[in-house]
Each structure stands twice: as C-alpha cells, then as structure tokens.
Structure 1
Amino acid sequence: MTDYTLKDLGWSPFFAAQTDPETLDFAARISTVARDRVTVLSPHGTLILRTPETTGDYAVGDWVLTTPDRGAVAERLERQTSLKRRAAGHDVSAQLIAANVETFGIVTSCNEDFNIARLERYLALAASAGCIPLIILTKSDLCDDPHSYAKQAERLSPLVAAVTLNATDPDELDTLAPWCRNGQTLVLAGSSGVGKSTLSNLLTGGDAATQGIREDDAKGRHTTTSRDLARTRFGGWLIDTPGMRSLPLADVADGIEAVFEDIETLAAACKFNDCAHETEPGCAIQAAVEAGDIDPNRLKRWQKLKREDAQNSEALHEARARHRSLHKTYRGAQSAKRDRDGR
C-alpha cells in the first residue's frame, strides 16, 4: 500500500481554503467512480467510500471530505476545473469527464485521424473548463513531416501548445513531463486508436490493453473502458478516458469565444447587433473573408459550434428545470403525506 501526502495528490491553496484544521485530516481524492461507491487516495491509504447521492455527481479527480470513520463521503469540495460534455445519444444531461485537471491532453495522430473541426471542439471544452490545452500528436515516426501537423494545431488558437512523439518510444515520454509532474494532473482524451492507452502505459507503468487500428481509415476500437487516477513516473497524475466517437458540446459559449477570438472580435464590429454574418451590409466578418483574413471554412465551423452549443445548452437548462420541478413536487407530496400520517 502506498500512502501519499495531500501535496503529492495535487492539493493546493484553492482546496485548503475550503477546509479547516479539524476537517483537513479527512481530505481525499477520488481515483475511481463505481456505480454505488468511489475509491479515494489519501494520506491514510486507499479507501472505498459510500456516497450520499448518485455517483453521477462525482468525477475522477474530485476532492472530498470523508466521514470521521472514513467509510463514506461527507462533502465534495468545489472544483477548480470541471471537464464535461453533453451525454452522447438522446440523453439530455451533462456527463462529467474529469475534475481538478490542470492540463487537457487532446490526443490525435499524424495521419487521417487529424481533424481540425474535432480539435476545435476539444479546445472549446478545455477553454470553458479552465484547463491548459495540449495537443499530443502521436505516430510521428510514421509521418514524413510531423511538425507540419504541430504547426496546423498551434494555429487554431494562441492558447494551444502542440507536441509530436512516437508513443511506443519510452525515450520520448519526457516530452510530456512538464504537464504531469509534482502533483499536476493531465487528462488524455481523443479518438480510439490514436495511442492513448500506449501513452498511459508508458507514463504510469500500467498494462492497459492496446489494439491496432484499421489501415484504411486509421480508426481503432475502444481499449480504455473506464477512468481512473494513476500516478505518473514524473510524480504527477494521469486520467485516461475511453475513446470518444462524438463530443456534443453544451454550456461552453465562453470556450468557443476563446478559441475563435479573432472571429468573435470581428462580430462585435458588425453594423447590426443581430448580424447573421451572411449577406448583411456592414458585416465585419464577411469583409474579412473577402479580404482573405478569415478562412471561410473556419467561419462555418464557428457558426456550427455556436448553433450546437445554443441548442444543447437550452435543452440542458430545460431538463434541469423539469428535474427541479419534479423534485419540488415529490418533496411536497412527501410533506403532505407526513402531515396526514401525523393526524
């Protein structure tokens, strides 16, 4: 059994401000989330805790306070960063990906998996969550000019850093050290088959299964099926995530604004406040497109993400309002029943 100090686990003044000397001894960090319980790492070792509510309210990386007997969660601390997306399919809900992550590692490869539109989605998610975005380009050994991919990635936003590496070469793992050492937490996300599990194995000394990719479309199968918090060889923490076939966005308007800051700035200069940036007179964005300053494809991607985020955000807010209304009705019915039984 390995015991860690709070500092080892990524404790910071942000979390310390939410505790006092009496509760500090009960702080722990969630390493895995199961259906009805969570596993946490703490200075007292690894603990399995019951939760007072559904585990869907918890994410790998969360900090919690345990009950005095260290058998259950007493309180979840406020998150410093929170990565979430709209759940895939028809489920109108937000799905937590990870919490309290400093760096969001977006893994793609130097082949057909490299997709500008998908990268912009991930970058909007990272910016909205407050994470540092890092684009990790794997399979550099199979590409004639991997640095051309890195240049394309870094042009997407001034917030982005991009690195290229061969995920199967242990000597190249030092490239990622600045983002996962000294208690820092790095989360890896991306499509299946891009080398996330291979990177995870090398960074943590784990043995997650890996599978090959189809040569015709560079796509792979899911190998990571759950999330966990694992110690890296550099002294930080890694959260690997299952391969994502889709990344529906919701409540990330601020992230889209950050990634497309150039277009957002131009939009503010349009003649009309409700400009659709299509054929309206005085449209600063269309003027920039005509001048060659804005790529028309980038404009289309921005418009698509804005529409999607607005629609999904509205659906989420309506679903939350319905849930609150049903909860209020349920509590009212319970109260009325207690009053009748009391009589």
Structure 2
Amino acid sequence: MSLEPFGWNEEVEENWRALAEPELAPARVLAQHRGVYAVRTAGEERDAEVSGRLQRSASRGGLPVTGDWVALRLPAGDGTALVEHVLPRRTAFVRKAAGEADVEQVLAANLDVAFLVGALPELNPRRLERFLAAVWESGADPVVVLTKRDLAEDVAGPVLETEAVALGVPVHAISSVTGEGVDELRAYLRPNRTAALLGISGAGKSSLVNHLLTLDRQVVAELRSDGRGRHTTSHRELFLVPGGGLVLDTPGIRELALWDADEGVEDAFDDVAELAAGCRFRDCKHESEPGCAVREAIAAGTLAPERLASYRKLVGELGERERRRPGRGPRRSS
C-alpha cells in the first residue's frame, strides 16, 4: 500500500523533496505510546522512536505527534526505526501544557477537519467557544457534532443555541446508538483528508469512531442508564476510514488552556470583533466607555452578555499569559 491513503499529497511530497536525505524513508505517525510511535511507511506499519539528535535539538513542540509526517532511519536488521526529522506541519492543534510551566503542547498535526464532539443533553456553549478558538487557530476547519440525540428530549433548541455561538460552523446532531446523522459526517472524510474528534470524556467520540469505521476498533465502556459512559481511549490514534480519509480519536480533553490563539479567538467571536470595530474608542474595553457598540448591542438584545463575558475571559487569559512571558511585546486588542 502506498502512503496516499494516509494523506500523502503534493504538499507533503514537496516538503519531503526539500529535505533531500534519500537514505531516509517517509512515514506518518499513527499513534504514540509512551515514547514509542506507531508509524506507517509505504510498505508497513511499524514502531519507531525519536533519535537522540532530534531529542536534543527539538523543542517540546517540535517532537513528533500523531498526524505528523516524519523522516525515518530504517534499521538494517531487526533494530528500532528512528525519527530523524518532523516535516513542516500544515496545521497543528495546540494548547498550553497542564501545570504551571508556560509550555506549548501540540496534540495533533496536519488535520483538515476537527469534529468538536459534545453530548447534546449536556451542551456547554462556553466550553464550545474555547474549543472553537483553538481549532480556528490550528488552521483546521471546525465542525460541531452533538451526540446522544436519542437521549435528548429537545434537539432543535440546543442546535439553535449551538449555531448562535458557532457562527458559520456546520452543526450536526447525531446518535451513535441509532446511527441517525452519522452518515452526514462521512462527507467530511474524503480521501487525503484527516479529521480529528475532540472533546471532553464521555462525549461519545469512540462510539462515533466505531460507526465511521463500521467496526469495534476502539473499546467503549458500558453506558449507564443516564447515558454516561467511561471513555476508554487512552491515546491519540489515527484510523483509516473505509471509503477514504482518516479519523483521529483522542482521549477526553479535561483542560484546554489556549496557546497564542489571538486570531483563533477573533475568528470564534467574529460577531464581537465586528461590533468592536464600531466602538468610538479603538482601545475600548466594552465596560463603561461612551460609544461602545458592543454594550449597545447587549442593551438592544442582539448580543448575549454571556458571550461578551466569554470573549473577555479568553482575551484576558491570553493577555495574562503574555504578561508573564519575558521578552514579548503587547498583544493586539479589539
């Protein structure tokens, strides 16, 4: 099997040729297990480790992640293949690593589509806005997937609420139990395209993966009577979808602190940004300044105050991180 089903295209080939190291072999990272990578070469799937040279020279964000294209040094015998280079990433889904250290963590690379998965009965617009900002910043196209519609008494209301915060983003309400709505998602999984499923634990990502793959590749814990299940995906893994495309299942994301996501926040809140452009003062904080178009929209009922609060929270979070980093200039503001 060639690498084309795994996303190899002209852009990847151009990056590969620019590397100009013919003794190495191209591969795509399918999964990572505690420092050991499952990679796909043109001939086989095999394990690999990061070379000492790359380990020493790369930043944390420059080490391989699931979805990366890498250059392998293949062993002559039964030894371990070594990742010598990570090819340039077209897109990267990034967050601030958990903990006090100000360090980026790349969760996945070279995604075309990001399915933002959430259980319909447990809709959280504020969490969705945060995920949308991170996805827009990544360069992938977001698609909102509301799961467990079979457990929801009302579907239309939450869909409308979601569309009000995910402006211009497709929204699909599905059930992995009945299969309703799942086929609509297959349209995003064309050959050479990679989609990731992102969301918190228990949102139904692995059940959705099973439907898309038409097999029980991932282990899914038994659901309780209230519709909650223990998400058992323990690592990020790429799967080849029958009919073309790849899907990346991921563990539940409990914490998503944004990393350098100024443009992503602006894209996720383009309604607020558009209103802010009409404020009398360019540095308007949308608090009590005269001529604030954002506050006027809230007073008129055309902008929810919760949405402005969410926007200000994310902008403030990014600004606080920037102030703590030495040698960085001020961020732009709306």
Return the TM-score normalized by structure 2.
0.85
Once residues 298 and 165 of structure 1 are traced to their aligned partners in structure 2, the CA distance between those partners, rounded to angstroms, is 26
Deviation at 1:282, TM superposition (A): 1.9
Q: Which runs of 5+ in 1 are unaligned?
A: 321-343
> In percent, how many aligned pairs have the same letter?
32
Shift of the 191–280 alpha-carbon distance from structure 1 to 2, 3 Å rule, reads same
Shift of the 311–219 alpha-carbon distance from structure 1 to 2, 3 Å rule, reads farther
Once residues 59 and 171 of structure 1 are traced to their aligned partners in structure 2, the CA distance between those partners, rounded to angstroms, is 33
Match of 2:45 in 1: 46
Match of 1:261 in 2: 270
Deviation at 1:212, TM superposition (A): 2.6
Determine helix, strand or coil for the equivalent of 1:101.
coil
- Spell out, residue by residue over 1:212-266, the C-alpha distance to the aligned partner (whole angstroms, 9 max, x if none): 3583xx7654421111111123321111111122211121110110111121122
Match of 2:128 in 1: 119
CA contact (8 A) 1:193 1:212 kept: no
**In the alignment, does 2:173 pair up with 1:167?**
no
Once residues 3 and 102 of structure 2 are traced to their aligned partners in structure 1, the CA distance between those partners, rounded to angstroms, is 36
Matches within 5 A, 1:229-240: 229-240=238-249
2:118 corresponds, among 98, 108, 114, to 108
- Spell out, residue by residue over 1:293-322, the C-alpha distance to the aligned partner (whole angstroms, 9 max, x if none): 22111111110111112223454x4499xx
Match of 1:90 in 2: 100
**In the alignment, does 2:85 pair up with 1:75?**
yes
Once residues 211 and 93 of structure 1 are traced to their aligned partners in structure 2, the CA distance between those partners, rounded to angstroms, is 36
Once residues 143 and 320 of structure 2 are traced to their aligned partners in structure 1, the CA distance between those partners, rounded to angstroms, is 28
Match of 2:331 in 1: none
Match of 2:307 in 1: 298
After superposition, the CA RMSD in angstroms is 2.5
Once residues 34 and 94 of structure 2 are traced to their aligned partners in structure 1, the CA distance between those partners, rounded to angstroms, is 18
Once residues 243 and 294 of structure 1 are traced to their aligned partners in structure 2, the CA distance between those partners, rounded to angstroms, is 31
Shift of the 213–128 alpha-carbon distance from structure 1 to 2, 3 Å rule, reads farther
Once residues 59 and 174 of structure 1 are traced to their aligned partners in structure 2, the CA distance between those partners, rounded to angstroms, is 29
Q: Which runs of 5+ in 2 are unaligned?
A: 329-334
CA contact (8 A) 1:249 1:312 kept: no
Deviation at 1:268, TM superposition (A): 2.5
Matched residues, number = 313
Shift of the 19–220 alpha-carbon distance from structure 1 to 2, 3 Å rule, reads same
**What is the letter of the counterpart of residue 266 of structure 1?**
L
Return the TM-score normalized by structure 1.
0.83
Once residues 314 and 40 of structure 1 are traced to their aligned partners in structure 2, the CA distance between those partners, rounded to angstroms, is 39
Could you say which structure has the larger radius of gyration? 1
Deviation at 1:181, TM superposition (A): 3.0
2:12 corresponds, among 9, 12, 15, to 15
Match of 1:6 in 2: 3
Match of 2:35 in 1: 36
1:210 corresponds, among 221, 233, 239, to 221
